[in-house]
Structures are given as C-alpha cells and as structure tokens.
Amino acid sequence: MLYRVNVRVKNQPVIPFLIYRFVYQQVEGDFEIVASLDDLELVDQWTKAGLMITAEPGVDSVNAYIYGSPDFGVNMQARYVTDSGNSSWLGTGSSTLVFPLLLKMTKVGDVVTGSYSIDDGVTWVQENEITLVIDGNVYVGLAVVVTTPTEAAPTATAVFSNVSITLLGE
C-alpha cells in the first residue's frame, strides 16, 4: 500500500518558516515503526519526510524525527522540551538521498533509536540513539516538513510504502 502525504501551505497553521503534516496513530508501550520513503518533492532546501514519535501531534511538542531530505540526506532531530521552539539536530547526514530509503524508529522505555537502510533492509545504519522522556502513550507516524518564509510555497508530496508498526515485548 502506498501512502501519499501532502503538505500544502494554504489552510495549514503557519508557523514562521515551518509547515508540516503528520499522519499518525497513538501507541502504548515499546514499539518499532518501519517505512519505505519512495519519493519526495524538493520544495525548498529543508523539505524533509520521515518517521516521527511525539508526545502530542502539535507542531511544538516533544518529539524525535528521522528523515530524508534531498539537500541534506538522512538525519535525525529531537525536541526535548515542549514549546521550546528548538530542535536539536542529531544526525551525521548522509551525503545523498537514495530512493527507496527504508527508515526505522524504535522506542524501548525512554530510548529512541533512528536507523536507515538503502539496501532493502539487509544493512541498517544507526543514525542516532537518544533518551526522550514522554509520559504515557505516544503518537507515531509519517511526517513531511517544508521550511518556507511565505505562504506562496508549492505543495510538497512524500510517497511512503510498506509502513508497519510492531509492538515489542508482547
């Protein structure tokens, strides 16, 4: 099954320099999410798409995000404090983005690990492992972000396939 996630600036809450769309489901406990990022339109240099874990589906919530970006490769970022307006860039950034790109995010307790594979899951590269404290259930899913200074930006579309969420320890 293919999932197309569009970010359209019009009719979206606009935060200066950030427009995003998050398609999610609520999950309890430890889990792993895997998805194939099959395509991503480049709208601006920070167009990115990937997997996100967050305390709340709002834009400025505590979260971890592993993503692919046409200009910056694969990276991981996190926001440790709600409403801080800041995210820490945690990744090393691969030099180029190759499709399809398999992304994986695992949450065990407060430890979140982001990984990627460019060889259909034969080899996984760990982008980062962080401690992210989120009490209770989390929201996990597909996120697409466009960073743009105006509402005149075009729509960005990311294509995902083979999305799976596996509960761990059950």
Rounded distance between C-alpha atoms, residue 68 and residue 83, angstroms: 24
The domain ranges of the chain are: 2-167
Among residues 78, 67, 77, the alpha carbon closest in space to that of 134 is found at: 78
Per-residue pLDDT at 51 exceeds 90 = yes
Q: Which of 163, 146, 20 is nearest to 71 (CA)?
A: 146
DSSP class of residue 155?
P
- pLDDT-based confidence at residue 57 (cuts at 50, 70, 90): confident
What was the pLDDT predicted at 151? 57
- Give CB contacts under 8 A, 24+ apart, made by 57-61: 57/22, 57/24, 57/139, 59/13, 59/15, 59/18, 59/20, 60/15, 60/84, 60/85
Fill in the amino acid letter for 37: L
Return the minimum-mean-pLDDT range out of 72-86, 127-141, 155-169. Answer: 72-86
166 pLDDT above the threshold of 90: yes
Which CATH code is given to the segment(s) 2-167?
Answer: 2.60.120.200
pLDDT band at 113 (very low <50, low <70, confident <90, very high): very high
Q: Is 6 exposed, middle or buried (0-12, 13-18, 19+ CB in 10 A)?
A: exposed
DSSP per-residue string spanning 3-27: EEEEE-STTS--BTTBEEEEEEEEE
Contacts of 131 (CB under 8 A, 6+ apart): 110, 111, 112
DSSP one-letter code for 58:
S
> What confidence tier does 44 reach under pLDDT thresholds 50, 70, 90?
confident
